[in-house]
Amino acid sequence: MPAVFRASAPVADAGPDLGPLLELPGTWVGNGFNLISRPDQHDNKPFFLELNATRETLSFTEIGAPIPNRGSGQDDIFFLGVHYLQRISDAVTNGALHLEPGMWLNIPATTDPAAPASVARLATIPHGDALLAQGSSLTVAGPPEIAPVDSTPTFSAGPNTGQKVTGAYLDPFTTTPLPPGIPDGAIANPNVVLTEAISQQKILETTVLIISTATQVGGTAGGIQNIPFVVQNANATSMSAIFWIEKVQSADGTGTFMQLQYTQQVTLDFLGIAWPHIQVATLVKQ
């Protein structure tokens, strides 16, 4: 009997995927640290250094269908993303500190403009701020490399622009007591909270998301828009963040769990000084 040759069925286009955002959908819960210098006109002081040990719930839900962006210089692109809700409270008082709805997008490479694949985060904050931060991703074997972050403010105006502030302005950075459970050195380098949290863990793999409002993708950067009161009194001028999505071996070695760490810095500009507002956390997927 002669052989019968059948044409293979065409392979369906897999379509867009979440890429480096794949593990985000779900609810992540944990603790962190918040450092913010803010104006203190109410108490007739130039500024107040607020430190908080934090509790956080960060929930992600996959956007239910591919998102189409229509092209004129190239064909349409389609991509997926997740929307999220971030809720942060003070670990001591349980008082609300931060509420943020937003989205993460996994954007493919494009030819018009010529741009590599990227990730983007869109966020709105009830103080009257909205931002777009863009960036890149990578996956590495083993634990993350978490570099120190410097909380020292710098001059944003005048002849010393860009130089670190010295003198009495820095007194609160050495005299303000740390909240319970926050390790020594966390005021100067808040990322010590992250490195201590994983110091005894075996992390098998890490996906890294690196974003900033200043990062250009295809020749265009993101940015922050603020209500007039914010602009006039404590202008949020930039935001950068690194998220580490970690696959961690359980303590007994029999399984794994997913962990999310991040460090984020928002620059607040008032009194002619750029003040770092730094937020870090270590969260476990439930």
Classify residue 213 as exposed, middle or buried by CB count within 10 Å of its CB (0-12, 13-18, 19+). Answer: buried
Question: What's the confidence (pLDDT) of residue 45?
Answer: 79
- Residue 267 — left, alpha, or beta (φ > 0 → left; ψ -120 to 50 → alpha)? beta
- CA separation for the pair 278, 286 (Å, rounded): 25
State the CB neighbour count (10 A cutoff) for residue 227. Answer: 11
Cβ(270)–Cβ(45) below 8 Å: no
Question: What's the confidence (pLDDT) of residue 1?
Answer: 41
233 or 15: whose pLDDT is higher?
233
Could you read off the pLDDT of 219-245 as tens digits, one per residue? 999 999 999 999 999 999 999 999 999
Rg for the chain (alpha carbons), in Å? 22
Strands 96-107 and 118-125: antiparallel
Could you read off the pLDDT of 177-206 as tens digits, one per residue? 999 999 999 999 999 999 999 999 999 999
Strands 273-285 and 154-155: antiparallel
The residue assigned the tokens 């390790």 is 183
- DSSP 8-state class, residue 228: H
- CA separation for the pair 35, 191 (Å, rounded): 11
- DSSP 8-state class, residue 108: P
> Domains in the chain, please, with CATH?
19-285 (2.40.128.20)
The one-letter amino acid code at 147 reads A
Could you read off the pLDDT of 241-268 as tens digits, one per residue? 999 999 999 999 899 999 999 999 999 9
